[in-house]
Amino acid sequence: MDARNHEADLDAVIVGAGFAGMYMLHRLRGLGFTARVLEAGSGVGGTWYWNRYPGARCDVESVQYSYQFSSDLQQEWDWTERYAAQPELLRYADHVADRFDLKRDIDFNTRVKSAAFDEAAGRWVIETANGKRLSARFCIMATGCLSSPNLPDFKGLESFKGDRYHTGYWPKEGVDFTGKRVAVIGTGSSAVQSIPIMAAQAAHLTVFQRTANYAVPAHNKALEADYIARVKAEYPTMRARARTTMTGIDFDYSDRAALETSAEDRTREYERRWNHGGLWFLGAFKDLMVSDEANATCADFVRAKIHSRVRDPEIARLLSPTNTIGCKRLCVDIGYYETFNRGNVTLIDVSERPIDAITPEGVRAHGREHKVDAIVFATGFDAMTGALNKIDIRGRGGLALREKWSAGPRAYLGVAMAGFPNLYTITGPGSPSVLTNMLPTIEQHVEWIADSMTYMRDRQLGRIEPVAAAEEEWVGHVGEAASRTLRYTCSSWYLGVNIPGKPRVFMPYIGGFPKYIAKCNDVAAGGYEGFALA
Ligand code: N01
């Protein structure tokens, strides 16, 4: 049965067909709800559909960066690399969509323009840019945390005559930079992943760096069959262990403090983790994100590594970050720093004086024009709130979500907002989301949302909406938890500081996945405490 023909009966409209929207659809279907997914792209995969830049891959190991809701799916899919690259992740998303027959309920090439709550009918009315209008009892935003690309308003931007790309909006057909002079603006994770590959291709690569970034080696490798077999045999215990860690990743987090460990032991531990590779590095000591002094021991170690990897001491110095390690998202690299040893790569430091302008022929900085054939903007995203604020979302009394969030996002558990009945956000601001392994976080949200809808159906209830006081308390708790960590101290996208005019509010919940799960479970067990149900 095609739900489009029965839209009056739709229980839910889901916005986005990334990992969140896909599982939401599957879960709701399994519970007997009718749902339709609206997706701007022409295929599933969300982040992995849009971020096709060279070198894009996950920084959580693939065997963990995957769904666990279906044991059969988990057992039948074989990851080929420790950190899967974007094409493999997209193949996985596609496989999931086909395996669970999801595509028949997804409208592709359909960008949602507005969503408004019709109070009299108790339904959401969703309008799309291509003129579709749907209504459903529930509207579930699965719009992603890093899905609204940020293209800074550089002077002269439109005058550039060459090719322009944004890492978060990469052409499907790929880009061949062979023989080209290329500029990259930005040195965050997307740049760290793409720069080595673009440098190997381009005639010349000029990197404009405003803030140097810490990167630890990925030590990516092909996965052996016996390793995969072992993981598959241990999946249930590995997944259960992961739920007990702050990040939802099965890591060995040390409970030793850096400041209570001798300098030799500390270095040995950093070295061990450095040689292992990946984000696990930051789990070396429990005080790294709460004590400046402890953090400095870790930052010093990485800076020394940068100097050992980069031949020119001045370039090594410019590439060495001076801020708190882990304050901005730690990058995981494959040959990033070594790329600056190449003769065809130039680093331009724009930390003290911003880029002057984009010119018809290139980029001007420090008064000098760098002529290029293409510019790659690796300038990140309007994170967490960007994708939601692009949609004109109206709740009770026509209240606009953009207005409610004008001083920063406010949501109860990062999943629902006072004034917006029957509207859910998957991994919204105020949830652990980007500070965790996104896949288990998404699954936890989807299951919680589906449970709440089932609870309402069982009791013939029509509306669920957070109580303002509960929301207020949660927002306070999220802010207070963040203020106790060093993450609060730098100009990261977690705080919205990368977007001019965006309120400085730490958006994700830093209290950890287990604490968050416990809170969500308590709320549900208490009959959805903090929510008004009617
Ligand atoms: O974006 P970013 P990203 N002039 O915001 C610079 C996830 N991710 O796309 O730091 C000059 O980190 C900006 O400079 P500054 C991951 O969570 C994961 O790289 O603001 N430069 C910065 O260097 C990540 O954190 C993976 O001073 C300007 C860069 O642009 C998140 O996505 C891979 C500028 C933006 O870095 C975002 O990463 C990729 C200006 N006007 C992404 N404006 C994995 O590994 C901005 N910049 C899984």
Q: What is the pLDDT of residues 512-523, one digit of tens each?
A: 999 999 999 999
191 lines ligand 1 (CB under 6 A): yes
Closest by CA position to 372, among listed 350, 342, 344, 353: 344
Question: Are 101 and 34 spatial neighbours (Cβ–Cβ below 8 Å)?
Answer: no
Q: What is the pLDDT of residue 219?
A: 98
- Answer whether 188 contacts ligand 1 (Cβ < 6 A): yes
Q: What is the pLDDT of residues 12-31, one digit of tens each?
A: 999 999 999 999 999 999 99
pLDDT over 70 (residue 381): yes
Going by C-alpha positions, the residue among 487, 391, 413 that lies closest to residue 147 is: 391
- Contacts with 232 (C-beta within 8 Å, 6 or more apart), sequence order: 74, 75
Residue 186 in contact with ligand 1 by CB distance below 6 A: yes
Residue in the structure block whose two tokens are 């659809």? 25
381: left (phi over 0), alpha (psi -120 to 50) or beta: beta
- pLDDT > 80? residue 8: no
Stretch 377-382: mean pLDDT, rounded?
Answer: 98
Q: Is 61 in the pocket of ligand 1 (CB under 6 A)?
A: no
Average pLDDT over residues 105-123: 98
Q: Is the CB of 54 under 6 A from ligand 1?
A: no
Q: Which two tokens stand for residue 342?
A: 């190449």
Distance 459 CA to ligand 1 centre (A): 46
Task: Please say whether the beta carbons of 8 and 124 come within 8 A.
Answer: no
Band of pLDDT at residue 441, cut at 50, 70 and 90:
very high
Q: How far is C-alpha 171 from the chain's CA centre?
A: 20
The pLDDT of residue 480 is: 96
Q: What's the mean pLDDT in 279-300?
A: 97
Which of 210, 318, 331, 334, when mutated, tests ligand 1's pocket best, judged by the most ligand atoms within 8 Å of its CB? 210
pLDDT in the model for residue 2 = 41
pTM for the full model? 0.97
Residue 371 has what DSSP assignment?
E
Average pLDDT score over residue span 123-142: 97
**192 with 330: CB under 8 angstroms?**
no
Distance CA 528, CA 534 (A): 12
pLDDT at residue 1 greater than cutoff 50: no
Q: Biggest alpha carbon distance in the chain?
A: 69
Which residue do the tokens 């903007």 mark? 377
Distance 188 CA to ligand 1 centre (A): 4
Average pLDDT of the chain is: 97
Residue to probe by mutation, ligand 1, list 52, 89, 165, 189, most atoms within 8 Å of CB: 189
CA nearest ligand 1 atom 36, residue? 188
3-state secondary structure at position 150: coil
Which helix H or strand E contains 332, and what residues bound it? strand 331-333
- Closest C-alpha residue for ligand 1 atom 7: 189
pLDDT given for residue 5 in this prediction: 36
Rounded average pLDDT over 345-356: 98
Distances (CA, A) of 399 to 219, 447, 501: 49, 28, 21
Spatial CB neighbours of 69, under 8 Å, sequence gap ≥ 6: 23, 26, 27, 443, 447
Is the shortest distance between the CB of 89 and ligand 1 below 6 Å?
Answer: no
| Interval 156-180 mean pLDDT | 98
Residue 506 scores a pLDDT above 50: yes
**Nearest residue by C-alpha to atom 26 in ligand 1:** 189
Percent of the chain with pLDDT over 70: 99
Closest C-alpha to ligand 1, atom 29: 186
Q: What is the pLDDT of residues 186-245, one digit of tens each?
A: 999 999 999 999 999 999 999 999 999 999 999 999 999 999 999 999 999 999 999 999
Per-residue b or e along 405-440, where b marks 16 or more CB atoms closer than 10 Å to that residue's CB: beebbbbbbbbbbbbbbbbbbbbbbbbbbbbbbbbb
User: Which residue, judged by its Cα, is nearest atom 39 of ligand 1?
Assistant: 190
Sorted by sequence, the CB contacts under 8 Å of residue 11 that are 6+ apart come out as: 28, 33, 34, 35, 136, 137, 138, 453
380 Cβ below 6 A of ligand 1: yes
Which amino acid type is present at position 116?
A: A
At 270, list the tokens: 């950093």
Pocket of ligand 1 contains residue 62 by CB under 6 Å: no
The pLDDT of 77-93, averaged and rounded, is 98
Dist. CA 191 → ligand 1 center (Å)? 7
> Is residue 275 scored above 70 in pLDDT?
yes
Once rounded to an integer, what is the mean pLDDT over residues 405-433? 98
- How sure is the predictor about 440, in pLDDT bands with cuts at 50, 70 and 90? very high
Q: How far apart are CA 285 and CA 518, in angstroms?
A: 25
Residue 433 CB–ligand 1 contact under 6 Å: no
